[in-house]
Structure 1
Amino acid sequence: MDYIIAIDGPSGVGKSTIAKKLSKILKINYIDTGAMYRAIAFKLISNNIPLDNHNKIKEILENTDFTYKANCLYMDGVKLGKEIRTDEISKGASLVSSYDYVRNHLVSLQRKIGLEGSCVLDGRDVGTVIFPKADFKFYLTASSKERAKRRFLQSERKKGLNLEQVRESIEKRDFDDMNREASPLKKAKDAIEIDSTDKTLKETILEFLSYIRGESNV
Structure 2
Amino acid sequence: MSQWQLIPGLQLALDGPSGSGKGTVAKMVAEELGLPVLDTGLLYRLIGGLALQRTVALDDEQALVALVEEMLQKVAWTVDGISFDGENWTGRLRSEAVGNAASTVAALQPVRDLLLGLQRKIAESGCVMDGRDVGTVVLPNAQAKFFLTASVRERARRRWAQLKDDGGSSLEAVIDELKVRDQRDRERQHAPLRQADDAIVIDSTTMRVDEVVDRMLGVLERRGLIRS
- Paired with 1:72 and 1:184, the residues of 2 have a C-alpha distance of 24
* 2:113 pairs with 1:104: yes
1:123 corresponds to: 131
2:190 corresponds to: 182
Determine which of 38, 41, 49 is the counterpart of 1:42.
49
- Paired with 2:63 and 2:90, the residues of 1 have a C-alpha distance of 24
- Paired with 2:134 and 2:168, the residues of 1 have a C-alpha distance of 34
| Offset at residue 215 of structure 1 (A) | 1.3
* 2:92 pairs with 1:83: yes
The amino acid across from 2:66 in the alignment is E
* Secondary structure of 1:68's aligned partner: strand
* 2:20 pairs with 1:13: yes
2:156 corresponds to: 148
Contact 2:38 2:78 in 1 (8 A): no
1:138 corresponds to: 146
Determine which of 50, 72, 75 is the counterpart of 1:66.
75
The amino acid across from 2:155 in the alignment is R
CA spacing shift, 1:199–1:176, aligned 2, 3 Å: same
- Paired with 2:81 and 2:169, the residues of 1 have a C-alpha distance of 29
* Secondary structure of 1:155's aligned partner: helix
- Paired with 2:98 and 2:153, the residues of 1 have a C-alpha distance of 23
Structure 2: stretches of 5+ with no match in the other structure: 1-7
CA spacing shift, 1:158–1:74, aligned 2, 3 Å: closer
| Offset at residue 159 of structure 1 (A) | 2.9
| Offset at residue 155 of structure 1 (A) | 1.7
The amino acid across from 1:43 in the alignment is L
Cα shift readout 1:103-134 (whole Å, capped 9, x = no counterpart):
1111121111111x110000000000001110
* Secondary structure of 1:188's aligned partner: coil
Contact 1:29 1:71 in 2 (8 A): no
- Paired with 2:88 and 2:66, the residues of 1 have a C-alpha distance of 21
* 2:172 pairs with 1:164: yes
* Secondary structure of 1:11's aligned partner: coil
| Offset at residue 78 of structure 1 (A) | 2.2
CA RMSD of aligned residues (A): 1.5
The amino acid across from 1:50 in the alignment is A
| Offset at residue 80 of structure 1 (A) | 2.1
Cα shift readout 1:8-35 (whole Å, capped 9, x = no counterpart):
0001111111111111111111110011
- Paired with 1:214 and 1:105, the residues of 2 have a C-alpha distance of 36
1:113 corresponds to: 122
CA spacing shift, 1:69–1:175, aligned 2, 3 Å: closer
Q: Provide the aligned length of Structure 1 versus Structure 2.
A: 217
* Secondary structure of 2:20's aligned partner: coil
CA spacing shift, 1:69–1:109, aligned 2, 3 Å: closer
Cα shift readout 1:41-91 (whole Å, capped 9, x = no counterpart):
111111122222222212111121332334422223322222111111111
| Offset at residue 94 of structure 1 (A) | 0.8
1:94 corresponds to: 103
| Offset at residue 217 of structure 1 (A) | 4.5
TM-score, normalised to structure 1, is 0.94
- Paired with 1:185 and 1:69, the residues of 2 have a C-alpha distance of 24
Structure 1: stretches of 5+ with no match in the other structure: none
| Offset at residue 160 of structure 1 (A) | 5.0
- Paired with 1:90 and 1:166, the residues of 2 have a C-alpha distance of 12
Q: Provide runs of 4+ in structure 1 moved above 6 Å.
A: none
The amino acid across from 1:138 in the alignment is F
- Paired with 1:90 and 1:160, the residues of 2 have a C-alpha distance of 14
* Secondary structure of 2:186's aligned partner: helix
